Structure 1
Amino acid sequence: MSLNPVTPDFADTLREALPQAAFRPLTPAYLEEPRGRYQGQGGLVLAPADTDQVATILRACNAARVGVVPFGGGTGLVGGQVMPDGPAAVILSLERMNSITVLPEENVALAGAGAVLANVQADAAGADRLFPLSLASEGSARIGGLLATNAGGVNVLRYGNARDLCLGVEAVLADGSVLHGLTRLRKDNTGYDLRNLLIGSEGTLGIITAAALKLHPRPVATGAALIVVDSPLAALELLAMAGRRIGPGLSAFELIGRMGLEFLAETMPDIRQPFAARPDWMVLIDLGLGQGQDPAGELDALFSEAAEAGLVSDGIIAQSGAQHAALWQLRESIPEANRHIGAVASHDVSLPLGAIPDFIIQAGAALAQIGDFRINCFGHLGDGNLHYNIFPAAGRGRAEYDPLRSAVTGCVHDLVHEMGGSVSAEHGIGRLKVADLEQYGDPTKLAAMRAIKAALDPAGILNPGAVLRAGAQGAATAGFAPRR
């Protein structure tokens, strides 16, 4: 079923139905994505102020068969927020729907889809609560987009993904009907869980307009340590040891490779390097403990036990809040350093924990057969999520490697799939990984996804070309017969 472009007559129809404040100029900010792989296009940018206005927009777009591209903070890394081709669509920005209400007695925050993550964190902290979703783009990423992509971040080990931090959502479906699911209930067994269907659907099944978010008590005592490990296998053994010793107080366990420190030295020299000689592998451990507990003491005891087992050789344990922040600044600056270097190909993958050491060895060897690369492997070891990014050799530019990009990604993703992993751990599918989903996804699951898309968005107006190939939603309406 084909879509129609935004026309002057269609724009005039919306101008009669919406206040002038809902209209935004079509600036480059709405057409770009951080990695520069896609240049978006669109016919009209709308920034509604409330759910009723979103419903008005979707009713009009559905009737006219005009596509709608939802836009949050623009921080997505798989092209889900930009549409590079097809009929010019409406870009629907949720930026004005940014209200935040904290209910500390319920450990709940009600947030509009346009609320910036850092603001939700700050408002929760102001009520002595914690909203633990944390990632590098939290100063601009918005709640609607974070839920739409089921974002992860550094605290998944303890608190889960965005899905695990959401009690309910309000959303507008393709025909303009409103799903009033903004429940604050912890238990609600009243049929299909549409909340979890919409979370992670990347705006292809409905537009999330607000969410009820879970808050947590703020840890009384926090601590962090950057510890040198002999290998990824040693890091995995240290993770198990930390889990036994510390239990639920273990908030984050991040793997960092030497290449990350080298890129920081090359592109961000003001960031202090933690060790005189850069080690091959490190882990950043973060703790959040209760009253009367001593995080630095726990980390020191962990280091001693690990040293006796031959797993670690050096380390830094934060002795102050400033040192704690400095260790995390180091970790959170690595993605920015990567952007300065310019990746040939970036991979957001997850693997069974036990497969990670072998994957790192085998992937490096396989890529060496393709070309001369620098590999920056880092990420959330505690939940099995690696950012396995491939860069040009020193002194060479990214453009030289363009002919190899497909082979590089195919090599990495094939190995991930063979080892029982996922080629999209926390960034989503967007437009970048549509073909990967078709290649590696379970055929029955894909058929079910297409049937759900056809039922909820029969005209295919919602984020066309994201997650499922444009026009593919009708492929399974006759049943869930596997297709290859």
Structure 2
Amino acid sequence: MSLQPADQAFARRLAGLLPEGTVGAAEPRHLEEPRGRQVTPAALLARPRSLDEVAAIVRACAAARVGIVARGGGTGLVLGQVVPDGPAPVILSLERMAALRGIWPDEGLMIVEAGMTLAAAQAAAAAAGRLFPLSLASEGTATIGGNLATNAGGTAVLRYGNARELCLGVEAVLADGAVLHGLRRLRKDNTGYDLKDLLIGAEGTLGIITAATLRLFPRPAATGTAILAVAGPEAALSLLALMQEATGGNVTSFELMHRQGLLFLDEVMPEQRQPFADRPEWSVLAEIGLPPGLDPATVLAECHEAAAGLVGEGRIASGAAQAQALWALREALPEANRRIGAIVSHDIALPLTEIAGFIAEAGPAIAALGPFRVNCFGHLGDGNLHYNVFPPKGGRAADHAGKAAQIQRVVHDLVDAHGGSISAEHGIGRLKRAELVRYGDPAKLAAMRAIKAALDPLGILNPGAVL
């Protein structure tokens, strides 16, 4: 039996089970994804306010075999939030479930609902004198539920880990409407399979996360930020090792940027202030957080001096405003990419010591396909690169669309050869399903399909995503 559409008859039945105003027509913002590549052509929108309402929606969809797409902030980049074909689904938006259910600063945790934005979660932690360290460019829109569903990464993974490492428990609704009550405030709980870790990163295909217990951390007494020109990716990794040693492992972020990205900013965002008059071939943006008694600017200056031969010109922020200006440069790169228009983008992960070799091989391999521009940047400290390929200056991505698959194959084959992953932090969604099959371990794929069949036998949860 195939999935059925969320038609008018189903809409009336569902509306009868829920408070007035919960069910209605989907708005364009619920049907789109950020890069404008695909939309959900038709869908029914449900905006529950409580766990019980989510469970009622899922039970109704299971009974009618109607697909469900859980929707957070909609900022995902692999088409996980849109259903471009097939029967019209229910878009289950968690935007009304955004409460802080509790915060325990001395325990270092808080419980928040899935619809809370990442920025709001950060603010709630800060108000209690604590730090929730997950940080993304889209944090004002991205939600905690979406962050967990995709196991989001961001700029602080080096020190604090991905979303999975920041979560102690989840509350979720499973495919039959049953509720998983997993919000326990425990650091240790070896009572069987860890279903939390199964749901995190599953992109809404195994259950709908409605709330989470999140880890909080002490706020660093002082932070320091610097941007440094480096001789290349290998020198950058040596600098990272030096900084980790000098700070006792307190490097929070270590971002690699190539000259092409800075030139893109000159081209389409000239208002963006840049710290170097001559754009360096490679540079890193580093942030450290230190305990009381240590001056971050002094530590960074000592690292700069000790790294002679690895680094060139540098700027050390003298205060919060300068640090924010340096981060604004890094965070402007995705917008500059969007304005230029990529032929194809790659979110890849590599073992740290393989990064320099991959970059050295990938550049000539792409050049052999055409006079393309490559903007390579990303979270070097955790091995995550965004390796994006663009048309020649003055060209349009659409004019080279026929080369996109060939470029992607070159990049992903090299990633695989270097022991890497074709998806570092964005997930699989619908965009990378074929790539997952091509490069995935057969035993892992078989286990994933078995888990999906066991937990969602009707196939109603985010149909067509991941598998």
Contact 1:42 1:91 in 2 (8 A): no
Q: Distance in 1 between matches of 2:333 and 2:386?
A: 11
CA distance in 1, matches of 2:291, 2:244: 16
What is the number of residues matched between the two proteins? 466
Contact 2:14 2:23 in 1 (8 A): no
Between the aligned partners of 2:21 and 2:31, the Cα distance in structure 1 is 20
The residue aligned with 2:109 is: 108
Aligned to 2:57: 57
Once structures 1 and 2 are overlaid, which stretch shifts more, 426-435 or 231-240? 231-240
Question: Could you list the per-position Cα deviations for residues 50-85 of structure 1 after superposition, in whole angstroms to 9, with x for gaps in the alignment?
Answer: 111110011011111100011100000000011100
3-state DSSP of counterpart to 1:87: coil
2:456 is matched with 457
Distance in structure 2 (CA, Å) of the matches to 1:120 and 1:204 = 24
Q: Which amino acid aligns with 2:331?
A: E
Counterparts of 2:326 and 2:17, CA distance in 1: 51
Deviation at residue 228 of structure 1 after TM alignment: 0.4
Q: Within 1, Cα distance between the matches of 2:208 and 2:334?
A: 29
Residue type of the partner of 1:135? L
1:410-448 Cα offsets, whole Å, 9 max, x none, are: 111111011100000000000000001100000000000
Instruction: Give the aligned partner of residue 347 of structure 2.
Output: 348
Q: Which residue of 2 aligns with 1:287?
A: 288
- Residue 122 of structure 2 is matched in structure 1 by 121
Structure 2 counterpart of 1:69: 69
Distance 1:41 1:52 in 2: 28
| Post-superposition offset of 1:247 | 2.3
Task: Map 1:332-411 onto structure 2 (within 5 A).
Answer: 332-411=331-410
Tell me which amino acid in the other structure corresponds to 1:103: W
Question: What is the rounded CA distance, in whole Å, between the counterparts of 1:21 and 1:232 in structure 2?
Answer: 54
1:361 deviation in Å? 1.1
Which residue in 2 is equivalent to 1:248?
249
1:20-419 paired onto structure 2 within 5 Å: 20-100=20-100, 101-307=102-308, 310-419=309-418
How does the TM-score come out when normalised to structure 2?
A: 0.99
Question: How far apart are the structure 2 equivalents of 1:89 and 1:25?
Answer: 12
> Normalising to structure 1: TM-score of the pair?
0.95
Deviates more, 1:70-79 or 1:8-17: 8-17
Deviations 1:362-381 (A, max 9, x none): 11111111112110000000
User: Which stretch of the first structure deviates more once superposed, 348-357 or 263-272?
Assistant: 263-272
Kept after mapping to 2: 8 A contact 1:114/1:143: yes
Deviation of 1:21 (Å): 2.3
Paired letter, 1:410: R
1:41 is displaced (CA, Å) by 2.6
Instruction: Calculate percent identity across the aligned residue pairs.
Output: 62
Residue of structure 2 equivalent to 1:423: 422
**8 Å contact from structure 1 (residues 224, 284) kept in 2:** yes
1:234 partner letter: A
Counterpart of 1:478? none
Separation in structure 2 between the aligned mates of residue 339 and residue 465 of structure 1, nearest angstrom: 26
**CA RMSD across the alignment:** 0.8
Partner of 2:14: 14
Shift of 1:7: 1.9
Distance in 2 (alpha carbons) for counterparts of 1:135 and 1:188: 30
Q: What are structure 1's unaligned runs of at least 5 residues?
A: 469-484
CA drift at 1:12:
1.0
Hey, which bits of structure 1, 4+ residues long, moved more than 4 A? none
Deviation at 1:314, TM superposition (A): 0.8
Matched-pair contact (CA < 8 Å) for 1:128–1:217: yes
Q: 1:240, CA displacement in angstroms?
A: 1.2
Letter in 2 for 1:54: V
